[in-house]
Amino acid sequence: MRRIICVITISLALAAFGCMKKQADGTYKVDTTDAKAKTKTSGDELKTDLQKIGEKLKKDAEKVRDSAAVRRAEEKAGEHLEKAGQKLKEHGEKTKP
């Protein structure tokens, strides 16, 4: 168990030391310029990918709205509403004195 902890500690120290650069004043600082640049480009790529996906979803939603099944369902609903309206009229006429 102690060996594992020792190996992990040494590997973390080496990784941290490998990311640091010595400055002119003798101190060590982490160089993040490459990481910042990569983050910006990957963020831009993600943004464009999400925009493309959004446009595709919009087009697919329009296709679904215009599909034949939706039209048939709307027509059937309209027919049922018309029949219900006629029944209400007939019932209203029967109840009038």
Distance (Å, rounded) from C-alpha 34 to C-alpha 42?
A: 12
- Residue at 96 is within a domain: yes
Task: Tell me what percent of the residues of the chain surpass a pLDDT of 70.
Answer: 82
Find the domain containing 95 and state its range. Answer: 67-97
Ramachandran category for residue 6: left, alpha or beta (phi over 0 → left; psi -120 to 50 → alpha): alpha
What's the total number of domains in the chain? Answer: 1
Q: What is the mean pLDDT of residues 18-31?
A: 68
Q: State pLDDT tens for residues 80-89.
A: 888 888 888 8
- Residue at 57 is within a domain: no
- Residue at 7 is within a domain: no
- Residue at 83 is within a domain: yes
- Residue at 62 is within a domain: no
Reported pTM: 0.38
- Residue at 78 is within a domain: yes
CB contact at 8 A, 20 and 30: yes
- Residue at 56 is within a domain: no
32 HSE (CA, 13 A, CB side): 5
- H or E segment to which residue 30 belongs: strand 28-30
- Residue at 40 is within a domain: no
